[in-house]
Amino acid sequence: MRVLGQSDFTIVALQEQIVHRSNYSLVLSASVANMSNTSWVYVNGDFVPAENARISPFDRGFLFGQAAYEVTAVYNGKLIDFEGHLARLSRTLAGIEIAEPDVDLASLHQEIMTRNNLTEGLIYLQVTGGVHGPRDFYGPEELTPGLFMFATHKTLIGDLAQDGITAISIEDTRWKRRDMKTTQLLSQTLAYREARRAGAHTAIMHEDGFVTEAASANTWIVGADETLVTRDLSRALLPGITRRTLADLLRQNGLRVEERAYTLEEMFAANEAFISSTGVVIAPILSIDQRPIGTGQPGPVTRQVQQIYYDYLGADTGVIDWL
């Protein structure tokens, strides 16, 4: 690998803020705001206290958004759907041309759980294109990845599950390969901010009149005959791991599941609607653009769906008094 000289770097404004580790590797503190629950994180081969985590601004993840991520739930001290997350990660990495990290990801997940005393919450993992010179769109043929992981303590069956959420609708402006879980999240960030300004929790994204998904979750509607409908997989949406497990569980429990695209109008007219994701698990959608969905309250089918998935999680649903 070519060693870079100081003259290769022309980002003078940045130089004041960055620390020289060597003449090649410049480091920038990872933001540790909102990480009060996290003490140990994993960065490129080492477990370090969160406040000591450092990444290079020359990482291709930072420069080009060339990075994949996964978020895996931990419930009762167990990783949920881990194989599904690993398989999706591999698929995304192949799609964005980053080599698989040469580590045992299962062991790293176990270790980060142990070090952080995590029995319920989320583990975030990001695989980046790594550092390969200051800025070169092509990069080497084989991209040696960077790897960053942290854990957060979170109650998975929480207030949103109980009370439901509100939403706004928003045109889906994301890129055209949404089936890959990359860190190109600009549209989602803007959608969340617009939702917050409108007093809603999230946004239901649509394209050509059809719902794609929520800002960071898959969407479901409950039709007149209680059929559960979620959009079929394509490049237009992320293949949610929770969506897949849930579809299997619902079918095993004798419910009708249909995978097809539906319009925003159909969603407005649905008896019930809900989202599924690793972080929120299942939350009823009460309204979109301030128009109530069904009664505007969590409906019976959604509650049944929650019961089925929470049983799968191993939750003691007897103590959840709103279920």
Ligand X SMILES: Cc1ncc(COP(=O)(O)O)c(C=O)c1O
Q: Is 182 in the site for ligand X (CB under 6 A)?
A: no
Strand boundaries in the chain, DSSP class E: 19-20, 26-29, 40-43, 46-49, 54-55, 67-75, 78-79, 121-128, 146-153, 165-171, 202-207, 210-214, 218-222, 228-230, 257-259, 272-277, 281-288, 291-292
In whole angstroms, how close is the CB of 158 to ligand X at the nearest point? 15
Among 218, 230, 302, 306, binds ligand X (CB under 6 A): 218
Residue with Cβ nearer ligand X (47 or 312) = 312
Among 149, 180, 241, 285, binds ligand X (CB under 6 A): 241
Q: Is 126 in the site for ligand X (CB under 6 A)?
A: no
Q: Is 278 in the site for ligand X (CB under 6 A)?
A: yes
Are 176 and 228 in contact by the 8 Å Cβ rule? The answer is no
Task: Find the part of the chain contacting ligand X (CB under 6 A) among 27-35, 130-138, 153-161, 272-280.
Answer: 272-280
In whole angstroms, how close is the CB of 149 to ligand X at the nearest point? 16
Collapsing DSSP states into helix, strand and coil, what is residue 70?
A: strand
Q: Is 242 in the site for ligand X (CB under 6 A)?
A: yes
Q: Is 240 in the site for ligand X (CB under 6 A)?
A: yes
In whole angstroms, how close is the CB of 118 to ligand X at the nearest point? 17
Distances (CA, A) of 111 to 36, 82, 106: 19, 15, 9
Q: Is 230 in the site for ligand X (CB under 6 A)?
A: no
Task: Find the part of the chain contacting ligand X (CB under 6 A) among 14-22, 191-199, 251-259, 270-278.
Answer: 270-278
Q: Scan for tokens 């080497």, then name that residue.
A: 140
Q: Scan for tokens 């060339």, then name that residue.
A: 66
In whole angstroms, how close is the CB of 303 to ligand X at the nearest point? 20
Residues in contact with ligand X, counted by CB under 6 A, come to a total of: 12
119 token code pair: 């029995």
CA distance 293 to 285: 7
Strands 67-75 and 210-214: unpaired
Among 217, 236, 247, 273, binds ligand X (CB under 6 A): 217
Q: Which amino acid is at 322?
A: W
Q: What is the binding site for ligand X (CB under 6 A)? A: 213, 216-218, 238, 240-243, 276-278
